[in-house]
Chains A and B, each alone.
Chain A
Amino acid sequence: MTAPLTHILPLTLIRRTRLLPAPGRVSARVGQKVNATDVVAETRLAGAHQIINVRRALSLSQSDQPERFLSCRAGDRLQKGDVIAEGGGLFSRLVRAPENCRVVYIFNGQVLLEMESQSHQLLAGINGVVTEIIPDQGVVVETSGALIQGVWGNNHIDQGLLLVMVKEPLEEVNRGTLDVSMRGAVVFGSHVSSADAILAAGELPLRGLILGSMSAEARLAAETSQVPIMLLEGFGQLPINSAAFKLLNTSERRDACINTTWDPVIGVRPELVIPLPAEGQMHHDIVALAPEQRVRVISAPHASQVGKVVKLSAGITQLQNGVRTPTADILLEGGSEPVSIPIANLDVLE
């Protein structure tokens, strides 16, 4: 049976498809080296709309056909001040475009305008090389390096130097522990219990904040923060798993790309990519739970502990609290005897 999988890899080939939300122009080219915050494509998203009632604006009578007075057609692009409709007569009234806009639709003497909007820029997301162009939609970027996936993120992208501010897997990060020397860096912290620490990260500002865990009370502040924030373990007072802790500690002062885009429904997870000057191999995205695999436990009392699968138990096991569920025997790091853990509470680390 397939198992949930989290990548914590010191060196792998990372391939990411980056797509615009609507068709647009791709500016990158195949073979181009890009940084995470480089714009690779852009599009114009629909701006605000306005309906011009030509009959009313020109004070036309019921018998008048407003279409006769129109100077534009659906699809026309207008500059601010361009004439939309013109009444007859010597001192005719003019209806002009209020802004640069596009005529979307004309119906019953009403003209629907779409105002020009700001462009939406698609960022590369990781430092790497563009390997494919998807016409009008986006690019595929590849790089080799370390990959660390999180379980929750606040949907921002940035890059910076990785600074490690923790010595233990569970240490409090607060306003006092964040200082000006961290400005512009992607900081690896451990646990945040208050919104104030998140606000302090935004005030510096940091380029990114990687945390083991966060109290749910701080979630709203993290969701609205402009600093990319990702959690490796989740909500609560959870230590960082040893695999991620070691890898991040050995990656200090390297360039790191943080992409905290998170959509659990479609399986998009936040991630930290640390590009390395070596060639990585493609990793698996699907694994089946099997003996010898390295796994992380996601639930108390062994939350965030890493261990090795010894065997999958046959049938159903009754836990101490009475719940009956399939389990696996896991030898936890530092443990001498395997412990029985529900299979649903295991996450394969690869």
Chain B
Amino acid sequence: MTTSIVDAESVLVLDIGSVQTRSLLFDTVDGQYRFIAAGVAPSTPGAPYFDVGEGVHQSLLKLQSITARTFLNRDSQLMLPANPDGSGVDQLMVIFSAGPELQFVTMGLLEDVSLESATHLAQTTFGRIVEEIGLNDRRRPEAQIDAILATRPDLIIFAGGTDKGATRSIGKLVELILFYLQCLPEDSRPEILYAGNSALANRIKEILTRLTRLHPAPNIRPGIDQEDLGPAADVLAQVVGKIRTRQIGGLESLGKAASVPPIPTSHGLGRMIAFLSKVYDRRKGVLGVDLGSSHTTVAAGISGELSLNTFPIGSGAGAPEILKDAPVEDVVRWLPVHIPDDVVLDYLHQKSLYPAMVPVTAETLAIEQAIARQALFTAMNRMLKIHPDLVMGFEPILVSGTTLTQYSTPGQSLLALLDGLQPMGVTTLLLDTNGLLPALGAIAPQIAELPVQVLESSAFVNLGTAICVSSDARFGTPLMNVKLDYGGNQTQLEIRQGTITSLPVRPGQTMNVHISPLRRLSIDPTHRDRSRSFKIVGGVCGAVIDARSRPLGLPKDAARRRDLLKKWALAVNA
């Protein structure tokens, strides 16, 4: 896949997050594109600056100091394009997840058809659905109007009707939108994204553009049983970019300097996962998870088909959201030391006040890692509820997020991913320590070879291969014998139910693993692949056999549970 560069260009991606702003530099080394370095600084979309420019400026100063290159001129302006002396950069891209949470209203015809798809579309980007209105909504139209007015949405996502399908029912919703828009002054009206019956798109545009901006998008329900979010998600990403450039100070000027308009980080991640899912095993698919401070994005790609969802769950400002799905005891269950429930609850809320706070003690680090596990678990559960056809048999799984990449050792990260995501089958766990995937997704349409070449480099940390085996055998029962063949050595292991076993494989080393089951067990979650021999490659944690079954059950007795967590941690050197 290696490609030589003809017109190599340096690329700077500004990733403006809710807590951090990162300047990511890509350039050529020996004729191949490589990730060079990242400059990181606190984001400044809020007080006292109300302009992301300051955070960008600080991150660029950091990047200059790390790379000993110059990107800013004497007036502190970014030099675009690069000068013959090598200062500046050739291309600029901007991705963002910062800013106040976007408020969406979704509208559709049938609750479990187009309205559900409109909701799914909204979940592909950073925001919160504040109201859902379907044709069978029992409220009177005026009550529906008041409900939308009360939520002050930034965007209405409106879907309904298969192509050449319903028209009259859509007319009723258009009428409702028309009445609603008339209730607001012109400058307060939200924009509308229409992703319904494409035969009506022009007519609806004609009616509604008199009052607000309407963005037509391809129908997300072209057939009653067919949901196609991809093309509309592209339009949504552009619309969110436009709304954000108006809401976030300084983003507009950065966007003007950039090669393409700013896109949400989630969209960049989704684009890369869709691409990777064509490169890797098309049947298994690829999973990408970005555990942010305010939001967690989960992107699952299978043969280029993308399922993308962003949930307001995070390790910082979004931490209390975890408690909407489960009590605090579900966070506490991941702690290998005794910390009272109320202390964990307090920490979770305190962390939402200070998202950038670094854990200093062993206890606070343990709490942060427990929050990360539960956030991953919650996000994945929500994802699988939306896409019940997805199976957790992805390979590879790529994960980013401060708790996992900056606060944890590789062993701790590996265990957190196995606990939180609970993958099945044989998979490779990769850590995107610099959060490059969304940036590569932003670059891909402009310089197609850059993401490919960066992915071929060692920009990601391969934590290792995990062979996840599921069985309903009792805890401690001998489950299988495993024969390992590596570098001329042969070893045999007995694996018991409920254990994690580290395999003696070095980073980059290949190992043949042959499993002889002693009990009924399942490896491939789709049950299509019944092979019991695998060729695996070691990562920084080597490789592991996770025989803890799925869903992962933890003992109810706290002391026993903590002992078990410690044993598992010891097994992977966490």
Contacts and interface: CB of A to CB of B under 8 A. Distances in A.
Interface of A: 1-2, 5, 46, 48-51, 74, 104-105, 107-108, 110, 112, 114, 151-152, 215-217, 219, 234-237, 264-268, 285-286, 298-301, 319-325, 341-342, 344-345
Nearest to B54: A2
A235 B149 contact: no
B183 A320 contact: no
A49 B182 CA distance: 11
B183 A234 contact: no
A299 B354 CA distance: 9
Contact of B346 (A215, A285, A301, A324): A215
A345 B409 CA distance: 21
A336 to B, nearest CB: 20
A345 B146 contact: no
Given A324-B406, A344-B358, A151 B182 contact: no
B356 A108 contact: no
23 contacts: A1-B41, A2-B54, A48-B142, A51-B142, A104-B182, A110-B179, A217-B345, A219-B349, A234-B354, A235-B349, A266-B46, A266-B47, A266-B100, A286-B48, A298-B357, A321-B361, A321-B364, A321-B365, A322-B365, A323-B358, A341-B360, A345-B357, A345-B358
Given A236-B346, A285-B47, 8 more contacts: A2-B44, A104-B183, A215-B345, A216-B349, A234-B354, A265-B46, A265-B101, A300-B364
Given A215-B342, A266-B100, A321-B365, A234 B46 contact: no
A107 B346 contact: no
A344 B360 CA distance: 11
Contact of B182 (A112, A265, A268): A112
Interface of B: 41-42, 44, 46-50, 54, 58, 99-101, 140-142, 145-146, 149, 175, 178-179, 182-183, 317, 342-343, 345-350, 353-354, 356-365, 406-407, 409
Contacts of B149: 46, 49
Nearest to B178: A107
A326 B385 CA distance: 40
Contacts of B364: 299-300, 321
A48 B146 contact: yes
Given A235-B349, A324-B406, A50 B142 contact: yes
Given A235-B350, A345-B357, A216 B345 contact: yes
Contacts of A110: 179
A49 B176 CA distance: 12
B348 A265 contact: no
A135 B409 CA distance: 57
A299 B49 CA distance: 25
B360 A49 contact: no
Nearest to B348: A216
Contacts of B357: 298-299, 344-345
Contacts of A268: 47
Nearest to B98: A265
Contact of B350 (A1, A234, A285, A319): A234
Contact of B183 (A46, A322, A341): A46
A322 B347 CA distance: 20
Contacts of B47: 266-268, 285
A152 to B, nearest CB: 6
Contact of A321 (B100, B347, B360): B360
6 A-B pairs closest in CB distance: A267-B47, A236-B346, A105-B182, A235-B349, A342-B358, A216-B349
